[in-house]
Amino acid sequence: MSPFWSVWIIVLTVANILGCLWLIRWTMRKRADESAQGDVTGHTWDGDLQEYNNPLPRWWLWLFYITLVFAAVYLALYPGLGSFKGFFGWSSGNTLSADSGSQYSGEMAKAAEKYDPIYKQFAAVAVADLAAKPEYQEARAMGKRLFLTYCMQCHGSDAGGSRGFPNLTDADWLWGGTPEQIQASITNGRMGVMPAHAHLGDEKIDQVATYVMSLSGRNVDAAKATAGKETFMSAGCIGCHGLDAHGNQALGAPNLTDNTWLYGGSEGAIKQTIANGRNGVMPPHKDLLGDEKVHLLTAYVYSLSQK
C-alpha cells in the first residue's frame, strides 16, 4: 500500500470515530429552544401518538461509548489503519512465518505437526490396499473427509456427480479409473474440450445426433442415422471418439455407445453438445493438498467404484 492511501485510510477512519463521538455529545446537549423534559415535543402521528422529550437511558448511551472505545483499542492492537499492522503485528495471510503473527501459518504449522505423520504412514501403502482392506478403514474415512472438503462442491456429497461433473461411483471413466489415472487427475487436473460443430448446419447436426443416439440402442430413424454416421466419420468425430465410438481415455473423449452422459443424453442435449461444444475443467490439487493427501483422496475415490 502506498503512503498516500495509507494516510488516507488512517485519516478517514479516525475522523469517523471522532465524528461519532461528537455526534453523541452534540445530541446530548441541552438547547434553549427545546421543550422541558417530559413535555410533548409537538410531533404527533395517527391522531394521538405523541413524542415526549425524554432522554435516552444512560446504559444505552454508554453502549455507544463502549463501541467507540472498542474500535480505538482494536485499531491499536490489530491491522486496520492503513499499513499500520497494530502492536500485535497480527496477520491472517499465509505469506508470513508461523512465529511472525500470521494466524493462518501458525494454525497450518500446528495441523502439520499433528497430522503429517499420519498421512506419511498411509502414503507408503498402495492405493488398492487402502481402498479395499478392512484395516485401512481409518484411511478411507480420512479420504472421505478430504473429499467432502475439496470435491463435493462439483461431484456431490455422494460422489454421484451432476450435469457436467462426472459420477465417481460407477465404472465409467473419461480419463481412466485405475489408481494411477485417478491420482493423475487429482494431482494435475484435467481439461476436456469438445469443439463446436455449428458449421455443419442444423440438418447434419440433427443427423449426427440421431446416429449417436442409435449407438446406445435407442430406436431412431434408420435413414437419418445412416446419414449421420457418414458425417460422424467425415467431420473429424472419429479423431477423438474412435471408429467404434468407444472414446479415448487419453483425450478424455467419452464412450458414446453406453448410456452414460455427462451433459445429458436427450436429443436436445446431444444437439447442443455437437453444435456448441463443451469445456470441462478439473482443477489440479497438487499444490493445495500435497502428495500424501492426494494419495488418501485417490484411495477413497477408487474405493467408490470398486463396490
Q: Which domains does the chain have, with CATH numbers?
A: 1-25+43-91 (no CATH), 115-189+283-304 (1.10.760.10), 192-282 (1.10.760.10)
Position 96 scores a pLDDT of: 43
Beta carbons within 8 Å of 276's beta carbon, 6+ residues apart: 196, 198
Task: Give the residue from 64, 150, 132 showing the smallest Cα distance to 307.
Answer: 132
0.85 exceeded by pTM:
no
pLDDT per position in the chain (307 positions), as tens?
788 999 999 999 999 999 999 998 887 776 555 556 667 777 788 877 887 777 778 888 899 999 999 999 999 998 889 888 888 877 766 444 444 456 777 788 888 898 889 899 999 999 999 999 999 999 999 999 999 999 999 999 999 999 999 999 999 999 999 999 999 999 999 999 999 999 999 999 999 999 999 999 999 999 999 999 999 999 999 999 999 999 999 999 999 999 899 999 999 999 999 999 999 999 999 999 999 999 999 999 999 999 7
* Residue entry with cell 474415512: 141
Instruction: Report CA-CA distances (Å) from 305 to 23, 82, 173, 241, 301.
Output: 66, 53, 10, 23, 7
C-beta of residue 17 within 8 angstroms of C-beta of residue 72: yes
Report the candidate in 239, 230, 177, 172 with the shortest Cα–Cα distance to residue 203. Answer: 230
pLDDT score of 98: 43
What was the pLDDT predicted at 156? 96
Which positions ≥6 away from 269 have C-beta within 8 Å?
A: 261, 263
- pLDDT value of residue 142: 95
